[in-house]
Amino acid sequence: MNDIAVAFADLPLSAGTLEVLASRNYITPTPIQSLVIPELMKNSCDLIAQAQTGTGKTAAYALPVIETLLNAGSHKKPRAIILAPTRELAMQIAREIDLFIGSRQLKTVIVYGGQNIEIQLRALKGNCDIVVGTPGRVIDLMERGALKLDNIEFAILDEADEMLDMGFVEDIETILAATPEEKRMLMFSATVPPEARKIAERFMKNAQYIKAPVSQSEQADPLTEQWACEVRREDKFNALKRILHAEGRIYAMIFCRTRTDVDELTLNLQKNKFRAEALHGELTQNQRTRVIEQFKSRRFDMLVATDVAARGIDVNDLTHVINYALPTDKDIYTHRIGRTGRAGKKGVAISLFTPSEGGRFAMLRKASGGKLEQRALPDAKTIIAAKKARFKDEIDALLSKVNPAYMRMAEELCDVYDPATLLAAMLDMKFHKELLQENYPPLGRGSRDHRPGSADRRNRGFDRDQARPPRRKSAPNSHTAESTAENPEKNRKTDKKRRSERSERPGRNNNAAGAPPQEKKNFSEDKPRKRLRDWAMDITGNAPELPRYKVKKRK
């Protein structure tokens, strides 16, 4: 394997390709480009390349393919097919390939679902050289006879693990089976799952495996800072708000598990004056394209999405990736956090998990090699200090360019009001309650030891392994106890006196003085009432006929 090149001029590329790269300010190749390009240019081998998203994989295979097709001259077409998991990634690949081709005589056609198929049929009639598409639409065109793969020289799977995870295994096998056996097959992926290995074993011959190395500086100081917080399920959104307040202005993708979660979280963020939009599978293609383009142009700060909807979206300069719901697999976690910390710029990956997800968090922590650390939520002092620091930075940036009109207005106000009181009033107008500690009540960590009342349970003076103390019984009156033990005769007289006093209290059935005696009702003359047990026995035996009542219908 070759050493990593320090410039594109050191790679075996033609003068025309180097000129195109120079016009796009491509000077230093990435590690995956330095390793893959020489192998593809000097050998006619199949290749499996593993590198994170955003490391320049497209140029790594596109430049050698373009060079090979140009040197081979004119043949029957198409000669290369590139499969991508989503239409967004397919469009991005096609744009980059067109830029690498420049003014040279090669034609690229992109095919994907959601676009009128008649447009793609007309484009394929022009004898294209490279076809970039999604598996579903490629098979549609093959079944119509508009796309024939008999002369394919390169078959490339970009983001192969994502395509396999989306259920395109059978489609990929159908497409590859229609290509010639003597083709060269290239697979580029962030991870290499077992499904990808099976496809490689079936359709590749003596494939080489290349993995992009991690630089020593990145190993010592990773570009992506990873940390997580444990919170109760009901505190999850409040915890996210505190993290956003502490982190300040961010440009982030927030991942949820379902479409409903995406819509609910987006609505809550918008209600709390955060600039966020949703992206999920229920959006139409036009809505999806509009949201992605607005996010790339930074019309809003946070894109809330599901894993399926976010696949294939390549956004540069993301500062944060937030896992509002923990991913179910370590590969998904790798894909998510790989969207930040690119091109030498640092990023932050934050995860929220509930106590019931402790096992999943431990799995992700182990898979990250200990880089994912658990932290406490930012407290009130941390959030307030961060807001004050950001405000001071904003003031420092504005002091040198204050408008003279506002300076005159400030002088007029200082003549009327005390300057310190005036500034405090303006701070109150700007922040209101944001800088008050009572605005940030403590949130539980989410573990069982921190649920309400758990502190009382811990301090009751007994352990679970010990026997519980007997319940306290109401202590008898000391005077009564002594009289019972020492003088039983006196105790009987006292009880008799108390009974007589109770019988003379008002409201009792005793006769008041001078009142005529009341006759007592003799209940023995009436038929005795049945107890519930006797009534139940009658029902289980011969149930009596109960009277039926007519119910009047409401008009």
CA distance 315 to 338: 11
The pLDDT tens digits along the chain (555 residues) read 445 667 888 888 999 999 999 988 888 888 889 999 999 988 778 999 988 777 788 999 999 999 999 887 666 789 999 999 888 889 889 999 999 998 888 999 999 987 889 999 998 987 889 999 999 999 999 999 999 999 999 999 998 888 887 788 899 999 999 999 989 999 998 888 888 888 888 899 888 899 887 654 445 456 789 999 999 999 999 999 999 999 988 999 999 999 999 999 999 999 999 999 999 888 887 888 899 999 999 999 999 999 877 876 778 889 999 999 999 888 889 888 888 887 678 899 999 999 999 999 999 998 888 889 999 998 888 889 988 998 898 888 888 888 999 899 999 999 999 999 999 999 899 888 888 888 888 775 544 334 434 434 444 443 433 444 445 444 444 444 444 444 555 555 566 566 655 555 554 554 444 455 555 555 444 555 555 555 455 555 555 555 565 656 676
93 vs 59: CA distance, rounded Å:
9
- Give me the half-sphere count of Cα atoms (radius 13 Å) on the Cβ side of residue 456: 3
DSSP-assigned beta bridge partners for residue 323: 255, 351
Question: What CA–CA distance (Å, rounded) separates 333 from 323?
Answer: 9
Task: Count CB atoms within 10 A of the CB of residue 422.
Answer: 14
Q: What is the predicted pLDDT for the residue at 222?
A: 66
Gap between the Cα atoms of 484 and 501, Å rounded: 20
Phi, psi of 81 (to 5 degrees): -130, 135
Residue 440, exposed/middle/buried by CB under 10 A (0-12, 13-18, 19+)? buried
Number of helices followed by number of strands (H, E) in the chain: 23, 14
Residue with tokens 């800072």: 225
183's CB contacts (< 8 A; 6+ apart) are 152, 153, 154, 155
Other C-beta atoms within 10 Å of 450: how many?
15
Smallest Cα–Cα separation from 83: which of 163, 167, 194, 183?
163
What SS3 class is residue 89? helix
Please give the full DSSP string across 108-149, using - where no structure is assigned.
EEEE-TTS-HHHHHHHHTT--SEEEE-HHHHHHHHHTTS---
Q: Where are the beta strands (DSSP E) in 341-386?
A: 347-353, 373-374
* Distance of alpha carbon 79 from alpha carbon 184, whole angstroms: 11
The predicted structure's pLDDT at residue 462: 39
**CA dihedral defined by 456, 458, 459, 465, rounded to 10 degrees?**
130
Length of the chain equals 555
Instruction: Compute the distance between CA of residue 523 and CA of residue 527 in angstroms, rounded to an integer.
Output: 8
CA–CA separation, 61 and 32 (whole Å): 10
Contact 113, 134 (CB under 8 A): yes
As a whole number of angstroms, the distance between CA 138 and CA 129 comes to: 15
What are the b/e assignments for 347-374, b being 16+ CB within 10 Å? bbbbbbbbbebeebbebbbeebeeebee
- For residues 257 and 306, the answer to whether their CB atoms sit within 8 Å is yes
In terms of DSSP H, where are the helices of 82-230? 87-101, 117-124, 135-143, 160-165, 169-177, 194-203, 216-220
pLDDT at 448: 39
Q: Which amino acid is at 104?
A: R
Which of these, 30, 87, 85, lies nearest to 61 by C-alpha position? 30
Query: Identity (one letter) of the amino acid at 83?
Result: L
Q: Is the Cβ–Cβ distance between 115 and 289 less than 8 Å?
A: no
Apex 224 CA angle, 221 and 226, nearest 5: 105
**485-491-492-495 Cα dihedral, nearest 10 degrees:** -130
Dihedral sign, CA of 31, 35, 41, 46? Answer: negative
- 455 three-class SS: helix
Dihedral class, residue 467 (left if φ above 0, else alpha if ψ from -120 to 50, else beta)? beta
**Tokens 């403590």, located at residue:** 442
Instruction: Tell whether omega for the bond before 78 is within 30 degrees of 0, i.e. cis.
Output: yes
Give the model's pLDDT for residue 453.
40
Collapsing DSSP states into helix, strand and coil, what is residue 11?
coil
Helix, strand or coil, per DSSP, at residue 392: helix
CA distances from 304 to 239, 272, 301, 336, 344 (A): 16, 15, 10, 12, 25
Please give the DSSP secondary-structure letter assigned to residue 55: S
Check residue 454 and give its pLDDT. 40
**139 vs 67, 331, 460, CA distance in Å?**
28, 28, 69
Predicted pLDDT of residue 498: 64
Query: Which residues does 395 contact at the CB level (< 8 Å), separation at least 6?
Result: none
